[in-house]
Amino acid sequence: MLSFEAKPLPWQLSQWQQLMSQRQQQKLAHAYLLHGMPGVGKLHFAQLFGQLLLCLQPNVNTAAPCQQCKSCLLFNAGFHPDMLQIAPEGTGKPIKVDQIRQLIDFAAKTAQQGGYRVIIIDPADAMNINASNALLKCLEEPGSNTILLLLSEQTSALLATIKSRCQVLAFPLPGLALAKDWLLQQSLPDNDLGKLLVAAHYQPLTALTFHKEQRLKQRQALQACLAAITKGQKTPVAAAQEWLDEDLLCLFDWLVDWLAEMIKWAMAKDATFIKNQDMLKMLSYVSTKAGVTRLYGYYMWLSEQRQRLLGAANQNKQLMLENLFIGWLHLTIH
């Protein structure tokens, strides 16, 4: 079921028009690779396109699914027999070869509604090597009226043979003004938009999620925690205990971002490079105390720990957090 209104997001209009033109000329490819940063709505776009292909009475004037036919009702209920979505079975887990075999069986069958069959793989770069090799057969010999939509944030993780068999659609981040205008339409307060977009790396859908989950309060709490550690008012062990039940991936994302900005400050001493302007005083202070070498070492450690969090292995969260806050403290100790 679609997350938003059944139309492309404002920054997806050119990609939508490209597919509508191909559809009108009956020149649709059998596989598309939708790539771009997270939080730009690739899944919404893929689902909307899939619903349009499956719709029995699409609106000719607006190129939109009718939302009333049997096919649209099945789609909106999440039970359309000619739509298959493949995803990892859990956070950090791969898409396995058995899931792709299910996809191949699905693609070989006749569409139950007599039209297209639509397959979405999200994210395609989560496929392990066996799954990737199995998918090649389907890409080379797809069933009739079968459209595969592969979503990817890191196309470098995909086999070149897979990428070469797909038509590529790029989804860049929207401009700041367009992102803010859309978020205002989602009833977000104007005074929070700048901070939300910075915290979400300018990804509009991520910013919307951050608003719903009150992540700005979490971000402010992390700033206060780091300041307290820097001033000697809180120990790394106590800080780790406080953050044990929080979203560690988000915490690591913010710290990696802040370290990157501190490295820029250490090298250029230019505030125009700092997008987290509300943190400029603390970032510049710690950056000056630490120096580029220590900043870069901590940045690399944070990046490695973030990758571990994305992996399937269980992590000792208490120890990881203690090391994280100890690393921050060491930035300001000579």
| CATH code of the domain covering residue 142 | 3.40.50.300
- Amino acid (one-letter) located at 44: H
Could you give the number of structural domains in the chain? Answer: 2
Same domain, 107 and 157: yes
Same domain, 29 and 136: yes
What's the pLDDT tens digit per position in 100-121? 999 999 988 887 877 899 999 9
Of 143, 145, 150, nearest to 165 by C-alpha is: 150
111 part of a folded domain:
yes
Residue ending a domain, among 172, 189, 204, is 172
Same domain, 228 and 280: yes
Same domain, 89 and 164: yes
Q: Which of 4-8, 145-149, 181-185 has the lowest mean pLDDT?
A: 4-8
Residue ending a domain, among 156, 172, 188, is 172
pLDDT at residue 114, rounded to an integer: 76
115 part of a folded domain:
yes
CATH number at residue 235: 1.20.272
In the DSSP assignment, the letter for residue 142 is P
Residue with tokens 């120096």: 291
301 part of a folded domain:
yes
Same domain, 68 and 162: yes
4 part of a folded domain:
no
Same domain, 167 and 233: no
pLDDT > 90 fraction of the chain, expressed in percent and rounded: 74
92 part of a folded domain:
yes
Of 53, 15, 29, nearest to 139 by C-alpha is: 29
Same domain, 91 and 164: yes
Residue 334, pLDDT above cutoff 70: no
Same domain, 137 and 253: no
314 part of a folded domain:
yes
> Would you say 277 and 244 are in contact if contact means Cβ atoms under 8 Å apart?
no
Same domain, 37 and 153: yes
Domain that holds residue 66: 10-172
The helix/strand count (H/E) of the chain reads as 14, 5
Residue ending a domain, among 172, 199, 231, is 172
What's the pLDDT tens digit per position in 29-50? 999 999 999 999 999 999 999 9
User: Average pLDDT of 77-99?
Assistant: 90
CA dist., res. 53 & res. 101, Å (int): 23
Same domain, 261 and 153: no
Same domain, 168 and 221: no
166 part of a folded domain:
yes
